[in-house]
Amino acid sequence: MKKISLITLITTAAMAAHAQVKFDPPKTKAQPVVDTLHGVVLTDNYRWLEDKKDPEVIEWTKKQHDYGVEYLNKTQKSHPDLKAGIAAYLNMDYEGPLNNVGKRVFQTVKKKGDKQYKTYTIIDGKKILIWDPVALDPDGKISTSGIAYTYDGERAAISAQKSGAEVNTVYFIDTRTGKQTHEPLTGTSGFQWCKDQQHAYVTLRTQEDVDKQRPLKTYYIKVGDPIEKATFVGTTADAKNSFFIYDNRYSDVTFSGEGDFYSNSVKMRPTGSLKDGKLIYSSKKFQAYPEAIGNKLYIKTNDNAPNSRLMVADKLHPEYKNWKVLIPESSTVMEDVVITPNAIIVQDKKDIESRLTIYDLNGKKLRPMPLPEQGSIGSVSYDREEDKLYISLVTFTSTPKTYVCSPKDYKWKLYYQRHLPVDMSQIAGEIKFYTSKDGSRVPVFVVHRKDIKMDGKNPVLLTAYGGFQSGIKPGYFGFYAPFIQAGGIVVQPGIRGGDEFGEKWHLDGMLAKKQNSFDDFYACAEWLIKEKYTTESKIVALGGSNGGLLMGAAATQR
């Protein structure tokens, strides 16, 4: 197949379409820095641009931006209808899913014109405002960064930050009235209630900690006490790692440990004890996530099981050597596990699509658990007090829905759906597969109008990520609706580096194998042309964060 040159930036597309307008951005000076890495001599002419605080870099950025806007205004056709459609979507009222905590219900809402998200509680069918960060700062620069409710839902610890800072202040409120119950706690990074609902685990952080990338420290504190009375419980040796600690609600043990993106260690201690716990697991390659219910530990782990498996141990003998396989690894990725009094519900995915399977408490597979509709499961949870199972489900053309069922009959009922005034009736989403350079089968989402013509003339927005085990899942494409309704196609391949097919798929797209991610991306563009979705001149590629690195590779390699 003929190789194509990917059009990775809208400005590049403009150059092709408007060759008569010379593309002559402000010049960038070269300031060579030479490194020798693994015996290879590398020259970097533009490392000086990495210092974002350098006045010269700030000025360079402004000039490049201003020129880019000017160039686009000269070369790009205006699309006021498309712009208006996207703006209307972004300015819609937002209502988050209903959040059940104990016997209480909460919801996050942002109406058109609001500067920040507000939090409401629903009592007897009436919404009551309990938290509005704008009350703290009328300019709207303070935003909510997290909410931790007590188990009964009667109180909340709300973390807020100003202007995107990485240092929070925690506010304590009564969730029936919204009134503050204690003095705020400043200089935090994380907050978690303890089982007794009177104490908490608090991770402290200052701006100096952020600037110098210091390891964070976690403390045990009685809510309402000054931080000087807090007791140190843990930290990490390396700032890149994270420390975690949590009480188990349905057992009398507390787990703590340290981990990075790929591995962790776990200690166990009696709940309420501040002594260092017993080490029950440690690995530099794998992760384990234990949950204690009664006298048993259930552990989801990828230790010697790339697709993960569920193991079990007695609380009195919790060390790794005593773990036994309860549900073995399979050919599909085990994404989540929920333990009910009479069954184990396993969430996995096959060819990108979510599935649920019911097992008995001895690990015997009983039967598949049909979903209320085909889509991607965002979360699955079990309310032990109410004996109800909840799932959130989303499709390409419908907003996230929450379904509920009883484990007695497993019959789903729609619990909540956010309705948006976006017409998706003539839009279809497909999951397809194509072959990459080395023969690998790669999944791809293709979302378009139902009446699409496969004539090779459709504009395509091609976007991908390919890293950090972040795989593609069917999601609501309402944001792209104006573009799709105008005849565009949105394409999202699940390139290697994600977790579409487990840990091997992830590892095959990183480090020395990173080129696989890039090749998967290029192969998708070539497949789109071969299948008559589009042509080379009508593809624009988009990527952010790790996907931004992908764009850099595409721009330089192809």
- Distance CA(467)–CA(496), nearest Å, equals 7
Which residues are CB-contacts of 238 (< 8 A; sequence separation ≥ 6)? 215, 260
pLDDT of residue 420: 82
Distance of alpha carbon 365 from the chain centroid: 30
- Distance CA(340)–CA(308), nearest Å, equals 20
Angle at 376 between CA 487 and CA 494, to 5 degrees: 65
- Identify the segments of the chain with pLDDT beneath 50: 1-17
In the chain, the domains with their CATH numbers are: 89-417 (2.130.10.120), 427-557 (3.40.50.1820)
In angstroms, the Cα distances linking 155 to 151, 170, 218 are 9, 13, 22
Token reading at 208: 């100096």
Identify which of 97, 26, 111 has the alpha carbon closest to the alpha carbon of residue 65.
Answer: 26
Residue 55: CB atoms within 10 Å: 8
Over residues 275-315, the pLDDT tens digits come to: 999 999 999 999 999 999 999 999 999 999 999 999 999 99
Identify which of 136, 117, 11 has the alpha carbon closest to the alpha carbon of residue 74.
Answer: 11
pLDDT of residue 458: 98
pLDDT of residue 11: 40
pLDDT of residue 440: 98
Q: DSSP per residue over 349-384, as a string?
A: EETTEEEEEEE-TTS-EEEE---SSSSEEEEEEEET
Q: What is the pTM of this model?
A: 0.87
pLDDT of residue 392: 96
Q: Can you state the angle between helices 546-557 and 515-530, rounded to 10 degrees?
A: 70
Identify which of 140, 142, 122 has the alpha carbon closest to the alpha carbon of residue 130.
Answer: 122
